[in-house]
Amino acid sequence: MVRTLGGDRLLLHKACMEGTRQTILQEIEDAVNKVDGHNVIWIKGSPGVGKSALAASITKRLQNQKRHVTWFWFDRTESTTITTNALWRVVARDLACWYPPIRQQLAQGNKELSSSNIDHLSKTLTEEPLSALKDISHEELPVIVIDALDECGGLRHDSLGTDNFRGLLRTLERWTLANCLKKFKLIITSRPEDRIT
């Protein structure tokens, strides 16, 4: 599903004003709750149209329904700490908090956390643990929100920044292709850049 617009860290971003944007928030929530629907929901729009406010609002809305939601944002001014590798580590941390079987699996393979290969991190920290989740209801499945994907890599325009971004896009593309990830929802906000499209 693509929608075009004209944690604690979530508090850094303001949600939509109370009572506003109800239609689009309901559309996103419906897409998240649709069992057989798309597993990647892309909210795209120009700078300043409120993509981050939507991400914050839908996160709060789902959390109020007792859904497990990981929220991660990229910030081009903090590209040395908010990295592609940090994304999957944050997701793994949250999964370990919510699901004891995942916690055990990750604890057994804790050496994987030191890897800098994003494909490896994504597979070992999220894809494999999530595919091992069995017999839980749709309402108990995690939702991952990635805000400002276009800011990944920050202001860097060197080959390392480009490679990191391409690697992240590969891991996100796998969400649409891997059967074991089809039931897990990923919400992404970004500018409508060709490289993301």
Domain that holds residue 120: 2-13+21-190
58 found inside a domain: yes
195 found inside a domain: no
For every one of its 197 residues, what pLDDT tens digit does the chain have, with 9 covering 90 and above? Answer: 544 343 444 444 688 778 778 899 999 999 999 988 889 999 999 988 889 999 999 999 999 999 999 999 988 877 667 788 889 989 999 999 999 989 988 888 665 556 678 888 899 899 999 988 888 888 899 999 999 998 887 655 556 667 788 889 999 998 888 888 888 999 999 999 888 88
Which residue is associated with the tokens 């069992």? 35
pTM for the whole structure: 0.87
196 found inside a domain: no
Q: What is the CATH number of the domain that holds 129?
A: 3.40.50
Phi and psi at 69, nearest 5°, equal -125, 125
167 found inside a domain: yes
Residue (of 72, 41, 62) closest to 149 by Cα position:
72
43 found inside a domain: yes
Q: H helices then E strands: how many in the chain?
A: 7, 5
Residue 4's pLDDT is what? Answer: 39
159 found inside a domain: yes
Is residue 15 within 8 Å of residue 64, measured between CB atoms? no
197 found inside a domain: no
Please state, in angstroms and rounded to a whole number, the distance separating the CA atoms of residues 68 and 197: 27
Q: What is the DSSP string of 139-194?
A: GGS-EEEEE-GGGTTTT--SHHHHHHHHHHHHHHHHHHH-GGGTTSEEEEEE---T
The total of structural domains in the chain comes to: 1
104 found inside a domain: yes
